[in-house]
Structure 1
Amino acid sequence: MRRSFGQQTLLGLMALGAVTGAALAGGQDMMAVAAPASTPLKATAALRDPAGQVLGTATFEEQGMGMRVTVRVSGLTPGQHGMHVHEYGRCTPGIDPATNTVVPFGGAGPHFDPGKSHNHDDPQAGNKYGHGGDLPMLTVGADGTGTASFTTQKSSLTGMNGVLNRTLVIHARPDDYKSDPAGMSGPRERCGVITRDSYSARDYPLPGPQDFPEGVAYDARRGLLFTGSAANGTIYAINASTGAVSKFNEGGGQGRASSLGLKVDAQSRVWSAGGATGKVSVFSPDGFPLAILDTPKSPNKFINDLAFGPDGSAYVTDSFRPVIFRVSPDLKLSAWLNLGGTPIKYGPGINLNGIVATPDGRALLAMQLNTGELWRIDLRTRAVRKVMGGLVNGDGLLLDGRTLYVARNKDQVVSKVSLNADYTAGTLVAEEPVTGLRFPATLTAIGGDLVVTQSQLDKLQGGTPETPFKLTRFRKF
């Protein structure tokens, strides 16, 4: 079932036609929707030598869909030096795959490659042709001081090309801009983690090497966060104060090979949407399975998320079948709404995904990931109407009064939407990359804070995820 989930998820994401990259000075391969106007983001990287001494600084400032980069560093050999953004936010020793030896700053991983080009190229190449981390070279003078200042649209501080919490690495030799994997630029001599200025967030690391956390829920009565693995179905309980992690329920039992959307009800029971397994699981507060509810047999089932209505019933989305299921308070599952005759039109990829109930108890709001459309579904009449569009890659939802937060997975931001009084229209008012998000899938609230999963589902069937997997907590915006 794990393979089925991964394949279906990747097929859905590939069908979105989302932005894959941008070209330096030559425009983007596809233009993404610009974020609402706000103060430009800024970030800094303290550049260290292999001994840990800070010998330079790089600054990054958001400019439109790209960013302005300024670098100043000392103690290098005169001449030109290759310079790249690398995938991981670590300036630690690590394995160089080319030589299978431990090298300084190997923990930074390979070049940042948001377009999945698997190709080193020059800074003018669009991201579908070359690494998004391919940058102009650094020129070092006779005194060993190197400076560079340039604007790039290959990467940015937010969105799918975002470099926050990645690394800037300076190499020993010039870059030939053609040889894989790093243009023959030699050893890594300086490294700095790209850290957002004047912003704080707290991470909750997870213990497993293959956790891929998709869903998250909070039990305020017990002060516990719950998150589930898309890869193996394991559900963790996390003390929100201390960060201590324990296994709430081991994955794999009773055919539960995946855990996606999670919710905690008024009885502190934990509900899990089972993805391609087609199951909805309900657990007691101590992790004992109370019910494993199976939806009708189908080759294309994908139970994604759930929300509680005013009577305690759970309403469940299926991303491949145009139907919303309902689980009654006595834990009986039925098909509640056939979407075939409604304005919601299912297409290739992931369709209905995140779902929430409005505080007035009158409606559900559901996100359609592949179209970016937000829908309102009346709980009494079952009438469906479009609230707004423009939220492509919208995944999990959190409704706080008339403010809706949307985890935009591939766009690597949390979006804030202001809704009108009857939840029939909305306006996108802000987008937040936090300190660098990796495919955020769902979110929950703890008082005045939000907690988002960094699921890395784009790495589930290919690529190397950055570990430890984690949830990230930050202030509401």
Structure 2
Amino acid sequence: MSHATRRRMAVIAAAVACTAAAACGSTDDTAQPAPAAQSVRIATAYELPGDRAYPEGIAADPRSGDVYVGSYSTGAVYRATPGTKRAEVFLPESADGRKTANGLKVDQAGRLWVTDSTAGVTVYDTATRAALARFDVPGAGARFVNDLAITPDGTAYLTDSVRGVVYRVTTGQLAEAAAHGGKAELTTQFDLNAVLAPHAADGFTLNGIVADASGRYLLVVDMGAGELFRISLAPNAADAVRKVELRGGNLVHGDGLDLRDNTLWVVQNTDNALARWTVTDDGAGATLDKRVTDEALGLPTTSAHSGDQNLVVSSQFDKGGPMGPGTPKPFTIVAVEGI
């Protein structure tokens, strides 16, 4: 592994392993209560090729049933098609200069968005695999472009875990970039630093992000403090960012989010946990319904629904990856039933 790769993977280790209150703003890292456990089944859904995949992000295309998975360690993107058990390489390592593949989403037009934590986001045509446009974080300094959500009108919102901001890319900006060389800069739409819990200057905060189906608001998790924020998308909203009232637990180590109607699934990475919450109609509150902790989740980083399957990314970052020595098992995406 090259020195540059080791440095990039050390960054993700800090992101998923921040547990100390002083470093990450968390005040309670103890086990949280959860409703009585019910039967949960975890089984392999897809195998990933290679012995250094260390997957991080996942996206499902509802039109085709295809599932895309990104490799944090190499930047490759894999695709699994319906009826198969093994994913194949869709975009090779370092495609279009990307160093990582973190958050992934497929938009309503069938375009695949792939974040590179070190730079920004690239948008691909899934039919041709061609890069349509790339949006980079402006200026120098630390950044960690982590996850993204796409609203019903096609606007993309992306979290930066180091800068504590949410970027925005509109459909108009995408069309403009695609028509003029394919390169543009990300613009900050929401700065959450004023409401985030105290944390180290280089600590990781914002991580997973989702949009509600009506396009009224976004939900974004602060992985260090275990808090959830609601961001209003109404024009000129007076109280655009507000903390969501959490009942029955917290979201410490919260990573990827998956929202369906009023049900929110949250992956809590170093806890090897997947939690299901019920969100109020206005997005102002959430109640923990069920939380499963199981080593079989393999240090999960995010989840996505493909049809009725709840697919979870088993990163194995702690098995010879950015979080510790060892030898990983074959890399997989697992399906979780019963939560």
For the superposition of Structure 1 and Structure 2, which TM-score range results when normalised by the shorter chain?
A: 0.7 to 0.9
| CA 465–393 in structure 1, closer or farther in 2 if over 3 Å, else same | farther
State the partner residue of 1:38: 36
| CA 335–399 in structure 1, closer or farther in 2 if over 3 Å, else same | same
- Which whole-Å CA distance do the structure 2 matches of 1:231 and 1:244 have between them? 19
Amino acid at match of 1:199: R
Shift of 1:31: 7.2
Amino acid at match of 1:11: A
SS of the aligned residue for 1:301 comes to: coil
SS of the aligned residue for 1:436 comes to: helix
> Whose helix proportion is higher, 1 or 2?
2
Shift of 1:40: 7.1
- Which whole-Å CA distance do the structure 1 matches of 2:12 and 2:76 have between them? 18
Indicate whether 1:285 and 2:138 are aligned.
Answer: no
Conserved 8 A contact 1:450-1:476: no
- Which whole-Å CA distance do the structure 1 matches of 2:18 and 2:29 have between them? 17
State the partner residue of 2:25: none
SS of the aligned residue for 1:414 comes to: strand
| TM-score using structure 1 length | 0.61
State the partner residue of 1:335: 188
Indicate whether 1:207 and 2:59 are aligned.
Answer: no
Shift of 1:245: 1.9
State the partner residue of 2:212: 358
- Which whole-Å CA distance do the structure 1 matches of 2:315 and 2:32 have between them? 24
| Residues 139-154 of structure 1 mapped to structure 2, 5 A cutoff | none
Amino acid at match of 1:16: T
| Residues 400-411 of structure 1 mapped to structure 2, 5 A cutoff | 400-411=260-271
Shift of 1:200: 5.4
SS of the aligned residue for 2:46 comes to: strand
| CA 328–472 in structure 1, closer or farther in 2 if over 3 Å, else same | same
Deviations 1:338-357 (A, max 9, x none): 223x4224623321010001
Task: Choose from 299, 303, 307 the match for 1:447.
Answer: 307
SS of the aligned residue for 1:227 comes to: strand
Conserved 8 A contact 1:351-1:370: yes
State the partner residue of 1:347: 199
| TM-score using structure 2 length | 0.84
SS of the aligned residue for 1:228 comes to: strand
- Which whole-Å CA distance do the structure 2 matches of 1:223 and 1:312 have between them? 19
Amino acid at match of 2:301: A
Conserved 8 A contact 2:243-2:284: yes
| Residues 53-452 of structure 1 mapped to structure 2, 5 A cutoff | 199=41, 201-275=43-117, 277-286=118-127, 287-330=129-172, 331=174, 333-340=186-193, 342-345=194-197, 347-348=199-200, 349-380=203-234, 381=237, 383-388=240-245, 390-433=250-293, 436-452=296-312
Conserved 8 A contact 1:2-1:258: no
Conserved 8 A contact 2:206-2:223: yes
- Which whole-Å CA distance do the structure 2 matches of 1:311 and 1:37 have between them? 36
- Which whole-Å CA distance do the structure 2 matches of 1:371 and 1:447 have between them? 32
Conserved 8 A contact 2:70-2:76: yes
Deviations 1:309-351 (A, max 9, x none): 23211001000012211111131532212223x4224623321
Shift of 1:429: 1.4
* Greater gyration radius: 1
Amino acid at match of 2:14: L
State the partner residue of 2:183: none
Question: Unpaired segments of 5 or more residues in structure 1?
Answer: 19-29, 42-197
SS of the aligned residue for 2:334 comes to: strand
| CA 40–449 in structure 1, closer or farther in 2 if over 3 Å, else same | closer
RMSD: 2.2
The number of equivalent residue pairs is 308
State the partner residue of 1:90: none
Runs of 4 or more, structure 1, over 4 Å off, are none
SS of the aligned residue for 1:344 comes to: coil
Indicate whether 1:475 and 2:337 are aligned.
Answer: yes
Deviations 1:233-259 (A, max 9, x none): 000001132224221111213320100
| CA 465–424 in structure 1, closer or farther in 2 if over 3 Å, else same | farther
